[in-house]
Structure 1
């Protein structure tokens, strides 16, 4: 935490939705507020939106308490599919947690979904994410006013599912899903994440959605730091923790992915504008979360970022001064814009 939190502003980000999948998970309002205080002590210029981990201890009464305390949402992890998801929900989560979802709808908390199916797939031709999509549709049909975010969309099918829902459902797109494919994830441990990147056609569909101006899709970094030694350890692939660390260059990596898409002919040069970038990286997400257009408008965070070409490249890692903790960065040595904050 002490190493990573100072990297948030470096990536052009001043507002974050803080994930609760710690060890142990954040399952109480007191835990979330304590965590928020610790984050603010490290970097007070960042606005931290806090969340709870969906778990049997989360009840309608806890939801009411969370709303009163200013907690933003609840994150749902399917059991056993990603990092620290052992305490996540089973396949019948919709029935099991309906009273909680009803309370969230009543108190206007956001439900963030790690949309992968827990358990065996119905057939090998369907990804974990695609197998989950019917549950998203059932959830939205049952709770149409519940604000839901399908996090880190990785398939064209996920985009279509979000589009098919009403305005209370949105989807986030990460930087790394805009440039990685499944082959990258299989061969590079620093590119291994959940949901696993898919086909080039899925990657290109995500790129087009991100540049479409559709307010249902906005940036969510899903930046996941893991010690470099754990990402590069020998042994079975399953032992490698899932997560791509992008935060120090989050904005720059999105722009790099767009530039590469232009070079491939997926995007036209005129489709990547300042307005396009601001819509995807800032405005759409802030409006979905009912935040002011900029964090600075409420005295929280910064105002604008400035991007300049200065020959900067992404370093291989960040590390503590004593070198005891090192975290590998995605796309090391890639040329990127230099980023600074303007008041």
Structure 2
């Protein structure tokens, strides 16, 4: 069957995106719509983290002012301040979920959790209110237990199985899976468990991360067999898997290891895909023979799991450009600059 020259998709949605705050947010928030997304599920790991409904709603208003054409879905940051009463208040206000970060595993996660058991009353309230639990699926590194960024996701999967068993009516999303074991785990669990997959993890492996700080993200990309498992999950058309970009912008300087005051500063973790997200996903899926799964992955599966219907007249059309589009080296504005993922590479699709 010949490949199409245009593809029209109903209201693509990104169910995991970071749009930051301050000048960086002014630069990147409009990029969500530019990249073809009509709905965006926003992460709450700001400084300070979003642990109160009123603060979440204030942030939502800021995003709506910056990008009024995007439907912004909001989340709370799991924290001792998030009580069952706060969950009920948030649900009534339209907040859609709660994001769990294990302490210290990624950007702005110092306030993350160490014990899921203490939050069981919160999870019960979420189950009753129909809110979604979003899990950053890693555990902290531990030399004594031989836990590192390379196997932290595998060690987390026991927590996922336990939560899914203890709260069978609670919708749970394992975020940005990176391993074959995570894919198998999600497939083994009930319909209350789903999984987001990023664009960058469909392309990266540890070999492409090691020499390039702009490919460094958390969770870390793994082995070629893991990438094949992620691609197979998308290719299968299973409704358990859908797009969550984890697009995470950092100032260019923060992505470069540096020395100031005699101290070595680490590279920030994150890949930035929002400005070209839909063309990038289409290009990647076509590359491994799954272009026919594009609509399910970017439009249908996530919306069905989250019960978020597509708005009328929110279609997005892709076409093959007469001249392949090359991703620019940098994007700048409002006094800041960020390097997009795949900088310098060509995309096979563009938004009409």
Q: TM-score when scaled to structure 1? A: 0.90
Cα distance in structure 1, aligned partners of 2:264 and 2:127: 39
1:53 and 2:72 equivalent? no
Shift of 1:249: 1.2
Moved over 3 A (4+): 121-126, 235-238
1:256 and 2:283 equivalent? yes
Where does structure 2 lack aligned partners over 5 or more consecutive residues? 1-24
Q: How many residues in Structure 1 have an aligned counterpart in Structure 2?
A: 322
Q: 1:177 aligns with which of 178, 201, 222?
A: 201
Q: 1:147 aligns with which of 164, 171, 174?
A: 171
Helix, strand or coil at the partner of 2:85: helix
**Contact 1:47 / 1:295 at 8 angstroms: preserved in 2?**
no
Q: 1:186 aligns with which of 210, 227, 240?
A: 210
2:96 maps to: 72
Equivalent runs, 1:1-343 vs 2, <5 Å: 1-90=25-114, 92-93=115-116, 95-120=117-142, 122-123=145-146, 127-235=151-259, 239-261=266-288, 269=289, 271-273=290-292, 276-292=293-309, 294-296=310-312, 302-310=314-322, 311-320=324-333, 324-340=335-351
**Contact 1:211 / 1:277 at 8 angstroms: preserved in 2?**
no
Helix, strand or coil at the partner of 1:3: helix
**Contact 2:249 / 2:272 at 8 angstroms: preserved in 1?**
yes
Helix, strand or coil at the partner of 2:164: helix
Which fold has the larger relative contact order, with Cα–Cα distance below 8 Å and residues 6 or more apart in sequence?
2
Cα distance in structure 1, aligned partners of 2:164 and 2:118: 16
Helix, strand or coil at the partner of 1:149: strand
Cα distance in structure 2, aligned partners of 1:319 and 1:157: 38
Cα distance in structure 2, aligned partners of 1:178 and 1:76: 23
Helix, strand or coil at the partner of 2:319: strand
CA-based RMSD: 1.7
Residues 313 and 237 of structure 1, relative CA distance in 2, 3 Å threshold: farther
Cα distance in structure 2, aligned partners of 1:338 and 1:226: 26
Deviations 1:193-217 (A, max 9, x none): 0000000110111011112110000
Deviations 1:223-248 (A, max 9, x none): 00000011024259871111000111
Shift of 1:29: 0.4
Helix, strand or coil at the partner of 1:105: helix
Q: Which moved more, 1:236-245 or 1:279-288?
A: 236-245
